[in-house]
Structure 1
Amino acid sequence: MNYIKNQLKVTRSSLLSEIKGLSPEFMDVQPSGFNNTIHWHLGHVLSAAEKFLLDSPNGSNLPDNYGQLFGYGSKPADWPEDVPSTETLKLQLEEQLDRLLAIPEEKYADKVETPFKGMETVEDFISFVVLHETNHIGQIHAMKLLVQASN
């Protein structure tokens, strides 16, 4: 497996390992000093990877409301009643990894339609998605420690 695909696999595996055994109630606790919950982070990572790497001309593989629920600047305090469960998000994260790994290597050098913050190729965006997800894994880990310490 090439380096890039290995990074995607290791990063997603780390995320899923970080939440293993956590109850949905635990993942909905918002520790003091944080704007979001672990639940939100799962949806955010999922939505960001979808937006940057997997959106097709026919639309996203995720429901339309995910951008509103989990996009930059969103927060659980503003959520409506019908939010996807953490179990649903976990399954979607697992399924999404298969689609990320299916991006053909010959596409990595392709220029994207809309460059973003200096990123111009599919490979640039894959690197960004890995970095972004790793950052959120750190946030999840910190939140987990704080919630566990308060119980």
Structure 2
Amino acid sequence: MSELLYKQFELTNIFIVRSLEGIEKEMLDVQPEGFNNNIRWHAGHILTVTEQFMFGFPKKSAHLPENYIELFGPGTKPSEWQGDAPSIEELTAQLKEQVIRIKDIPFERLDEKLKKPFLGLETFGELANMAVYHQSYHLGQVHAMKRVIANSAIKN
């Protein structure tokens, strides 16, 4: 079962990275009507929340800049960003590196009980499964935003 979970991380990461690498640069920071964020935010949010779930960022992981919490954490918005956000190239490189670190987590760790249940999840493996779901959800948002942005550009 644990091998399947890690394979799911790998596949999801491949789809996320392909989706982001194939995007037109002018689409990255467009916030279409009806959406709370933009595509760059979703890329950073996927990266940041996965790092929180899998590695305890920012307290237990130094693989991402600490300001990613302010940029991409839950409840954040690009309209409130202070300073520059990382480039999509930087975010995709960090996503590629992150999945390698995830696959290095020993299988035994998935059975570990969490110190405190989170969203009804009691083990690290359940939390990891939630991380993959979360990544897939935001990948879907990226795809939807790309279509909305492309369709609005065609009409204009």
TM over 0.5: yes
Unaligned runs of 5+ in 2: none
2:94 alignment counterpart: 92
Shift of 1:84: 1.1
Given candidates 125, 128, 145, the residue that maps to 2:127 is 125
1:71 equivalent in alignment to 2:73: yes
2:44 alignment counterpart: 43
- Residues 84-118 of structure 1 show CA distances to partners (whole Å, capped at 9, x for unaligned) of 11111111001001011111101110112232111
What residue identity is the alignment partner of 2:27? F
Aligned counterparts of 2:113 and 2:136: Cα–Cα separation in 1 = 24
Shift of 1:20: 2.7
- Residues 29-81 of structure 1 show CA distances to partners (whole Å, capped at 9, x for unaligned) of 11111110000000000000100111276443211111111011100000112
1:148 alignment counterpart: 150
Aligned counterparts of 2:52 and 2:131: Cα–Cα separation in 1 = 10
Aligned counterparts of 1:60 and 1:76: Cα–Cα separation in 2 = 23
What residue identity is the alignment partner of 1:3? L
Q: Please give the secondary structure, in 2, of the residue aligned with 1:129.
A: helix
TM-score when normalising by structure 2: 0.90
- Residues 115-148 of structure 1 show CA distances to partners (whole Å, capped at 9, x for unaligned) of 2111121110111001111100110000000111
What RMSD, in angstroms, separates the aligned Cα atoms of the two structures?
A: 1.5
Unaligned runs of 5+ in 1: none
Aligned counterparts of 1:135 and 1:8: Cα–Cα separation in 2 = 13
Q: How high is the sequence identity, in percent, across the aligned residues?
A: 40
Aligned counterparts of 1:47 and 1:128: Cα–Cα separation in 2 = 14
Counterparts of 1:93-108 in structure 2 under 5 Å? 93-108=95-110
1:8 alignment counterpart: 9
> Residues 43 and 66 of structure 1 are in contact (CA less than 8 Å); yes or no, is this contact kept in structure 2?
yes
Report how many residues are paired.
151
TM-score when normalising by structure 1: 0.93
Aligned counterparts of 1:134 and 1:58: Cα–Cα separation in 2 = 24
